[in-house]
Amino acid sequence: MTTLGILYPGHSAEDDFPRMEILLDAVRLVVNHITVDEDAYRTDALMRAGAPERLAAGVAELQRAGVECVVWASGAGSFLYGWEGGHEQIAALARAAGVPASSTSFGFVHAVRELGAARVAVATTYPEHIAALFTSFLHAAGIEVTATRTAALASAADAARWGPDQVKELAEAADRPDAEAVLLPDTALHTVSYVPELEALLGKPVLTGNQVTAREGLRLADRRAWSPRLGRIFAAREAPPAPVARWGEGRAWAHSRRKGHSGRRSEPGGRGE
């Protein structure tokens, strides 16, 4: 069983994580909540939520659960710190937790790279000036943003009330033909239940805040997981290991060679080599 720690701000769409836990084989997602003093999509409030001392205060419960890593499950609460500041944020979190750490924003970067995409479209619930900082974060990672669509909601509570139709409408409005994937960075949006529907609608991979947060934890734990119901980023199953020959088969083959039963050299990888 792989146990991943999730630090989640407030209470919005955290029920996405138990859904993913059901869909992922032998993966436990332990969610601990960070207290948010003001639920507002403003730069100051979001940065306070991601302050190192606030994150450090939330790791004790995760440590007691025996997590192998910790991921800060906030889009804006991580990318607002910028590329360098974001690295400092997760380094401080790793020191506090005593295990590898990352954040949703870096989860997006690693997921886009895993897909082999170079150009993406961004669909956000944040105000425009905050969405622009996510674009800058992606640019710092070498990812081109072809278009950004913002809904300019006021808070995570507003985002949590959105249903699938509103999320689909936002994603479709953001998409562009030259975008190789569409990103929805807000972890307050419920998205896990209908990522495949979004991908079918757009005809390309869709990456969402909570989905890439879980995947980032798996990356830190060096654990591969497969579940097509979580979108294309989880759809590639690794090839199983080659079957191991039963003891004695190689010996029998060698014995037949000595008796001259086979004059041909076996193909590379054949039994007995």
Instruction: Tell me how far apart the 2 most distant CA atoms of the chain are, in Å.
Output: 82
- Bridge pairing between strands 206-208 and 101-103: unpaired
pLDDT at 235: 87
Amino acid at 204: K
What's the pLDDT tens digit per position in 210-241?
Answer: 999 999 999 999 998 899 999 999 986 544 44
Phi-psi region of 66 (alpha: psi -120 to 50; beta: other; left: phi over 0): left
pLDDT at 236: 64
Task: Report which of 137, 155, 150 is spatially closest to residue 46, judged by C-alpha positions.
Answer: 155
Mean pLDDT over residues 53-60, rounded?
95
Burial 254-266 (b: 16+ CB within 10 A, else e): eeeeeeeeeeeee
Mean pLDDT over residues 118-140, rounded?
97
> By mean pLDDT, which of 34-43, 210-219, 255-264 is the weakest?
255-264
- Bridge pairing between strands 144-150 and 27-34: unpaired
Directed axis angle between helix 195-202 and helix 164-174, to 10°?
A: 40
Tokens of 102: 């990352």
SS3 111: helix
pLDDT at 161: 97
Mean pLDDT over residues 33-48, rounded?
95
Predicted structure pTM score: 0.86
Cα dist from 201 to 45, 125, 182, 196, whole Å: 34, 19, 11, 9
d(CA 18, CA 23) in angstroms, rounded, equals 9
Phi-psi region of 107 (alpha: psi -120 to 50; beta: other; left: phi over 0): alpha
d(CA 214, CA 5) in angstroms, rounded, equals 9
pLDDT at 180: 98
pLDDT at 101: 98
